[in-house]
């Protein structure tokens, strides 16, 4: 199996505080990989280092074998490293189809031609419709994004990310704030994405993690405690002590 995304002894300090402590993480092609750990373990910080939102204090990040440590966020995105963003005001006011078509247009660098008639952007609209269909969002295509239930809005965020043609998709608590009744469906959709999209996600809900993940990395106090299959992680005494114990507090 080939590694698509890797960190090498990655360190991030905030003043004297070590938020990321010599993390060497490998994400394999096609992985369904979850990153878990207690609150404040440094999960979001690690994602921010991967995307280039934050620069590491030490260490390196490689994407498809290329060192991207000094590369800007948009350049990493162009190379296929994509994270989801919360729907902003612009998208909230647009329809679901328009929102995703805009994200496709951005990838196709049609940005300047966005205000041309819809027909001029047929390619972007066709692709957006295909993404909506894949995610079960087609019935909502002409709804304003803001009118959708929260769980459906999180699906739109995934649709916006898919429009960027990710090779690796980073999801930081994709079901946060979503009612349990909707979060299972959301995770099922994520799990059913094609295998050419490698997925690394952060999630606190252990039921969802164990349904989704084939590989789990446990982060504690900025450092990787261990990485293994869900079965091993679930029964590992260290994990029970450090992570699952805390979850029951």
Ligand X SMILES: Nc1ncnc2c1ncn2[C@@H]1O[C@H](COP(=O)(O)OP(=O)(O)OP(=O)(O)O)[C@@H](O)[C@H]1O
Q: Which residues bind ligand X (CB under 6 A)?
A: 14, 17, 19, 37, 39-45
- How far CA 145 is from CA of 90, 173, 183, in Å, comes to 10, 20, 18
* Residue 41 touches which member of ligand X, Mg ion, none, C-beta under 5-8 Å by kind: ligand X
Name the residue nearer to ligand X (CB basis): 42 or 151. Answer: 42
Minimum CB distance to Mg ion, residue 110 (Å): 34
For Mg ion, the binding residues in 28-67 under the rule CB under 5 A are: 43-44
Minimum CB distance to Mg ion, residue 125 (Å): 35
Name the residue nearer to ligand X (CB basis): 39 or 89. Answer: 39
Name the residue nearer to ligand X (CB basis): 163 or 202. Answer: 202
* Residue 181 touches which member of ligand X, Mg ion, none, C-beta under 5-8 Å by kind: none
* Residue 14 touches which member of ligand X, Mg ion, none, C-beta under 5-8 Å by kind: ligand X
**Which residues would be at the binding site for Mg ion (CB under 5 A)?**
43-44
């Amino acid at each position: 199996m080939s590694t698509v995304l890797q960190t090498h002894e990655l360190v991030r300090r905030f003043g004297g505080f070590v938020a990321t402590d010599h993390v060497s993480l490998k994400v394999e092609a096609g992985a369904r990989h979850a990153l878990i750990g207690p609150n404040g373990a440094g999960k979001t910080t690690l994602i921010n280092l991967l995307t280039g939102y934050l620069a590491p204090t030490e260490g390196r990040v490689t994407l498809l074998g290329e060192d991207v440590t000094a590369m800007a966020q948009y350049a990493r995105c162009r190379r296929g490293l994509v994270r989801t963003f919360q729907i902003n005001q612009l998208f909230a006011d647009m329809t679901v189809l328009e929102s995703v078509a805009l994200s496709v247009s951005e990838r196709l660098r049609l940005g300047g031609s966005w205000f041309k008639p819809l027909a001029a952007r047929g390619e972007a609209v066709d692709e957006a419709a295909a993404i909506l269909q894949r995610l079960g969002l087609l019935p909502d295509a002409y709804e304003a994004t803001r009118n959708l239930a929260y769980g459906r809005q999180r699906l739109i965020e995934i649709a916006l990310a898919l429009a960027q043609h990710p090779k690796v998709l980073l999801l930081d608590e994709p079901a946060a704030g979503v009612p349990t009744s909707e979060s299972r469906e959301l995770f099922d959709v994520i799990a059913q994405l094609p295998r050419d999209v490698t997925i690394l996600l952060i999630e606190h809900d252990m039921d969802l993690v164990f349904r989704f993940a084939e590989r789990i990395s446990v982060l504690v106090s900025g450092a990787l405690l261990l990485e293994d299959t869900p079965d091993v992680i679930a029964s590992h005494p260290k994990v029970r002590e450090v992570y699952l114990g805390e979850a029951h507090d």
